[in-house]
Amino acid sequence: MALVNENFLKLPGSYLFSDIAKKVNTFKVTHPKQDVIRLGIGDVTQPLPPAVIKAMHNAVEEMASKSTFRGYGPEQGYNFLIETIIKNDYASRGISLEPSEVFINDGAKSDTGNIGDILRHDNSVGITDPVYPVYIDSNVMAGRAGDLIDGKWSNLVYIPCLSENNFIPQIPDRRIDMLYLCYPNNPTGTTLTKEELKKWVNYALENDTLILYDAAYEAYIQEPDVPHSIYEIKGAKKVAIEFRSFSKTAGFTGVRCGYTVVPKELNAITLDGEQVSLNKLWNRRQCTKFNGTSYITQRAAEAIYTPEGKEQIKEIINYYMTNAKIMKEGIESTGLKVFGGVNAPYLWVKTPNGMPSWKFFEQLLYEANIVGTPGVGFGPSGEGYIRLTAFGAREDCVEAMRRLKNWIK
Amino acid sequence: MALVNENFLKLPGSYLFSDIAKKVNTFKVTHPKQDVIRLGIGDVTQPLPPAVIKAMHNAVEEMASKSTFRGYGPEQGYNFLIETIIKNDYASRGISLEPSEVFINDGAKSDTGNIGDILRHDNSVGITDPVYPVYIDSNVMAGRAGDLIDGKWSNLVYIPCLSENNFIPQIPDRRIDMLYLCYPNNPTGTTLTKEELKKWVNYALENDTLILYDAAYEAYIQEPDVPHSIYEIKGAKKVAIEFRSFSKTAGFTGVRCGYTVVPKELNAITLDGEQVSLNKLWNRRQCTKFNGTSYITQRAAEAIYTPEGKEQIKEIINYYMTNAKIMKEGIESTGLKVFGGVNAPYLWVKTPNGMPSWKFFEQLLYEANIVGTPGVGFGPSGEGYIRLTAFGAREDCVEAMRRLKNWIK
């Protein structure tokens, strides 16, 4: 009989979001008349902007006619989209990239999950804590995480981000081979300034660390000193892969498109000390195990960068960030401590009197009928926090704050 | 510095199709007035059928309005598509499947490439030879293939399919843990009868072999005794994963959608002998490293199964299969031996007098201005063959046959 990859069996059986769904369901069954407001899951609610809709209709029409039909596209994505991305997201910030350094994908989850394919199973891995679970789970599957002991994976280096350190991860005192950074951060909603990110790039340069930089929430940055790309930091092309996504930028969670930048200057090493281009390896991986993203989707993504597209997504992001502002002010007015929500659509709320995340989750659900996400679900340093998201409808955010105030009072 | 997955470095530097592209380009530069007919690459040329176009426009419109907008869908795919697939592709042939046994994807290449994630790196692997390169390359990357010695990977079991055995792979005399079968076959265009496939299912049942069954060309089957699904064979649910694709069925090569069936009866084993459900493992893999296929694409796939959709794709498939018939007859009339082309859009042509594949490729290009794919590019048993595809325009197929006849004469 074929042997299974036993690393999979180390993963805990239950998922955070299915546990939440079960608890919410139990509440709804026992309280059928209560109206629950869901501020838990990070999915968008606003429809696609008109410029994107128009581009998709046009692309669908192209597929209807023999002379404009498109079959297999390049595995790496179409040049029309790659060039548009480079011009708008990078050249405009003084970063020069070659088209062959950008890989279009079907969303950042695939590439942040699959990137480990090109790396050895015994690299050491660092994560900020709390963290997006995909970074951990995909490394568990690859055998890099070790064993789960008291809620922590034995071979992972956890870098705590807490209110005590203002959610700024401290440079570790040891070498790490691979390090995941996500800024603006999911789940805390916090950011690093250029100065702070520079420390990490310098650490990586000094220690030959590969940074896996997830900038999926880049479009939500409002303040000037927050870097939009890690390549704004000198030397970063030598040490970092950057993941971007249109999911939150333009409501593409159901459309599926993002991209990954693998600079040509970026190397990893063989056991014999030979340096190898990760760009070349990733290209080989994608050519073998991926067949490109839908042509229609790529045309949709291109439309985000048109003048109308830019205007329209700005409006959508403003809508969510106004939600975030209303929520932040609402939470603060109750006396609870809240972080994030300024350059990111996530609010990271400290539970009162150090109450455990799940206990606060249940109280919030049963007494204020609001669904959040227990912070501990994102890692041990998330204990004592709950995540709320600003992706809901305005009226729900306002109503949730009204309930919260009444309840805390 | 992070360590690379050194298995990647074992892969040969050049790709079959880029080598071909270079040779064709050289010819075109040196012969600018010659009109080249490309019958090499397996991409479709007919536009999407009207039922699919209509469904996509409708789905795009849904995404434009708040009340019908869809964000993240299930990682496994939407139930509306899964139920439609089960009803039309399986229940209609007496095969019962549960919705949770079907996983919608962005094309069969992703899943045939990624399926190895859930299996150990040291399973033994069998392939029919010649073969679709993704099966081999993805196993090289995972460390299962060993080393490339004289054109063969040391840890793979090659099962030759040649005119001498009528392209029917012989049951090996040893156990294999994982076995790839692709029927109708790419590249030979040949099929197995139910009786022949049954032998493989029985071999798998007796030897606890996992069959990875690629049925991407199922829609091209014309003859009654050719199985459309491996699950038509008794016991197959205990041993086989089946991959299907809409790429060739409905012209989705640029749209990206397919599905994978992982039956709940199917187990693999741990080193300790514990049986583990592969359905559960694959579900975990997909939930961690994939975020579902575009909603619009899934609605497009659903439309293939409407009465109009079925009628329209039948017409397209008839178009390609008429091409295949014209080509088969054309090639036969020159005295060359040709296989396939009856239940598949591929024609597998034996070169005259055992001429090597690449030599025949060059002669065909320079003397008849036709591009094929050298059979040896698909593996050692492909030497002495060339693959032609029936996906071209009718007039090109007719003209190619005219040229071939004149040239051979």
Q: What is the pLDDT of residues B201-253, one digit of tens each?
A: 999 999 999 999 999 999 999 999 999 999 999 999 999 999 999 999 999 99
Instruction: Return the minimum-mean-pLDDT range out of A10-19, A145-154, A268-277, B144-153.
Output: A10-19
CA-nearest residue of chain A to B291? Answer: A109
Give the integer Cα–Cα distance in Å for B94 and B81. 19
Q: Which residues of B are annotated as a binding site?
A: 15, 42, 72, 108-109, 132, 186, 217, 245-247, 256, 291, 387
How do strand B156-160 and strand B125-129 relate by DSSP bridges?
parallel
- What CATH superfamily is the domain A14-43+314-408? Aspartate Aminotransferase, domain 1 (3.90.1150.10)
Is A320 a known ligand-binding residue? no
**What percent of chain A has pLDDT above 70?**
100
Run of H or E residues at A226: none
Q: Give residue B225's pLDDT.
A: 95
DSSP strand E in B15-101: where?
37-38
Tens digits of per-residue pLDDT, B6-29?
Answer: 999 999 877 788 889 899 999 999
What sign for the dihedral angle of Cα B72, B74, B80, B85? positive
- For A20-55, what is the HEC assignment? HHHHHHHHHHHCCCCCCEECCCCCCCCCCCHHHHHH
The helices-and-strands tally (H runs, E runs) of chain A is: 12, 17
Alpha carbon distance, N-terminus to C-terminus of chain B:
62
CB contact under 8 A, A270 and B65: no
Determine the pLDDT at residue B283: 96
Chain A residue closest to B54 (CA)?
A60
**Average of per-residue pLDDT across A304-315:** 98
Mean pLDDT over A42-49 rounds to 95
- Assigned fold of B14-43+315-408: Aspartate Aminotransferase, domain 1 (3.90.1150)
CB-CB: which of B1, B141, B288 is closest to A138?
A: B288
Predicted local distance difference test score (pLDDT) of residue A42? 86
Residue B126 · residue B159 · CB < 8 Å:
yes
Q: In whole angstroms, what is the distance from residue A217 CA to residue A389 CA?
A: 13
> For residue B115, is pLDDT > 80?
yes
Cβ partners under 8 Å of residue A94, min gap 6: A232
pLDDT of residue A297: 98
Query: Do A178 and B119 count as a contact with CB atoms less than 8 A apart?
Result: no
Question: How does the average pLDDT of chain A come out, rounded?
Answer: 97
Task: Determine whether the annotation assigns residue A217 to a binding site.
Answer: yes
Maximum C-alpha span of chain B: 67
Residue type, B57: H
Average pLDDT value for residue range B51-55: 98
What is the C-alpha R_g of chain B? Answer: 22
The predicted model gives A395-400 an average pLDDT of 97
pLDDT at position A15 is 77
Contact B8/A251, CB-based, under 8 Å? no
The yes-or-no verdict on residue A14 having pLDDT over 80 is no
Q: How confident is the model at residue A16 (pLDDT cuts 50, 70, 90)?
A: confident
Is residue B80 over pLDDT 80? yes
Across residues B182-197, what is the average pLDDT? 98
Helix (H) or strand (E) holding B87: none
Residue (of B392, B291, B77, B12) closest to A287 by Cα position: B12
Report the pLDDT value the prediction gives residue B351, as an integer from 0 to 100.
Answer: 98
- Cβ neighbour number for residue B18 with a 10 Å cutoff: 10
Q: Please say whether the beta carbons of B180 and B131 come within 8 A.
A: yes
Q: Is A333's pLDDT higher than 80?
A: yes
Residue with tokens 């290009």: B365
Nearest Cα neighbor of B246 from B257, B261, B255, B262 is B257
With 80 as the cut, is the pLDDT of residue B34 above it?
A: yes
**Closest alpha carbon within chain A to B135:** A288
Mean pLDDT computed over A188-199: 98
Q: Report residue A323's pLDDT band, with 50, 70 and 90 as the boundaries.
A: very high
Query: How many other β-carbons are positioned within 10 Å of the β-carbon of residue A25?
Result: 10
A135 pLDDT higher than 90: yes
Find tokens 């048109």 and name the residue: A306
**B314 Cβ partners below 8 Å, 6+ apart?**
none
Return the pLDDT at A409.
83
pLDDT score recorded for residue A206:
98
Which of A12-26, A138-152, A200-214, A253-267 is predicted least confidently?
Answer: A12-26
- The residue extents of the domains of chain A are 14-43+314-408, 53-305
Token pair for A200: 């990490």
Q: How confident is the model at residue A13 (pLDDT cuts 50, 70, 90)?
A: confident
User: Does residue B2 have a pLDDT over 80?
Assistant: yes
Contact state of A118 with B208 under an 8 Å Cβ cutoff: no
What pLDDT, on the 0 to 100 scale, is given for residue A394? Answer: 96
Contact A253 B71 (CB under 8 A): yes
pLDDT of residue B232: 98
Confidence bin at B84 (pLDDT 50/70/90) = very high
Q: Do domains B14-43+315-408 and B53-305 have the same CATH topology?
A: no
Taking residues B362-375, report their average pLDDT: 97
Question: Average pLDDT, stretch A78-83?
Answer: 98
Is the confidence at residue A170, as pLDDT, over 90?
yes
Nearest to A185 by CA among A376, A347, A392: A347
Q: What is the pLDDT of residue B138?
A: 97
For position B17, what pLDDT does the model report? 83
Minimal Cα–Cα distance from B249 to chain A, Å?
13
User: Does residue A37 have a pLDDT over 90?
Assistant: yes
Average pLDDT of the residues of chain B: 97
> CATH number of the domain at A53-305, out of 3.40.640.10, 3.40.50.300, 3.30.70.260, 3.30.70.340?
3.40.640.10
Q: Which of A47, A105, A52 is nearest to A303 (CA)?
A: A52
In this prediction, residue B38 carries a pLDDT of: 95
Q: Please give the Cα distance from B217 to B340 (Å, whole number).
A: 12
- Cβ density class B189-219: b for 16+ within 10 Å, e for less: bbbbeeebbbebbbbbbebbbbbbbbbbbbb
Q: What are phi and psi of A180, to 5 degrees?
A: -95, 125
Cα–Cα distances (Å) from A75 to A105, A286, B86, B256, in that order, read: 9, 6, 30, 11
